[in-house]
Amino acid sequence: MRYIHLLILSCIACFSQAQTVSVDTFATQLTQSPQAQLIDVRTPAEFADGHLPDAVNINSQRPDFTQALSQLDKTKPVFVYCLSGGRSKGAVEKLRQLGYTDVHELRGGYLKWSSKMMPVAGVARSTAQAEWPTARFDSLIRKQPLVMVDVYAPWCGPCKKMAPTVEKLQQELTGQATIIKVNADTEKAFMTAYQVDELPTLLLFRNGKLVDRQIGFRDETALRALLR
């Protein structure tokens, strides 16, 4: 009897875990669910700064949040995300308490979604000409002994979070290291040449050769260590 009880608990845990899925799985499930209800539980200001296409904003901080969730259709799947996963976890628990059984949570939230260069809405894409064509970039890494490239996008959450530190180091380390920012929206040739498919990506060149590649947000300590 004890074995059966533990087995049931294990299955429930597996089911719960299976509903918190990766970016790729979340995107696939959305595509395969034409009646999906996609809910962004961030604040309206966060939502206005960029969100998943077709998402509806139900702010988890509003006093009638539970009531707003209860208005969703229980016969249709619900897909939930926030910035990084904290608020969406609470929303998923409320949805289950309300009787929703087909609930999917985006692991890593909007930060992870945008860093994987997935489609986003409510942001302006840059249409400027490329600043770093191959010839110019090759010339730079030949002339400068240490070059760090921050491949970013204006709509990428982790990129925006890291930007102030990158700009600080650009100024502080002038003469010691060359730090440039490459916009993923406009530098398609660069993205292809260096096989960048996730943001932010940091590329480190020493004496013209690529010696390190790091993906994802890095704090100031990690960036300084990279530039030693």
- Is 156 one of the catalytic residues? yes
Q: Which of 11, 14, 82, 156 is catalytic?
A: 156
Would you call 121 helix, strand, or coil by DSSP? strand
In the chain, the largest separation of any two C-alpha atoms, in whole Å, equals 73
Distance CA 178, CA 75 (A): 56
Distance CA 173, CA 226 (A): 13
Spacing of C-alpha 198 from chain mean position: 9
Closest CA to 136 of 125, 126, 127, 149: 149
Determine the Cα angle at 33 with ends 86 and 60, to 5°: 25
Tokens of 123: 């942001």
DSSP sequence for 165-212: HHHHHHHHTTTT-EEEEEETTT-HHHHHHTT--SSSEEEEEETTEEEE
Q: Which residue has the tokens 């406009």?
A: 186
Distance CA 140, CA 131 (A): 12
Q: Which of 11, 14, 82, 159 is catalytic?
A: 159
Please identify every residue annotated as catalytic. 156, 159
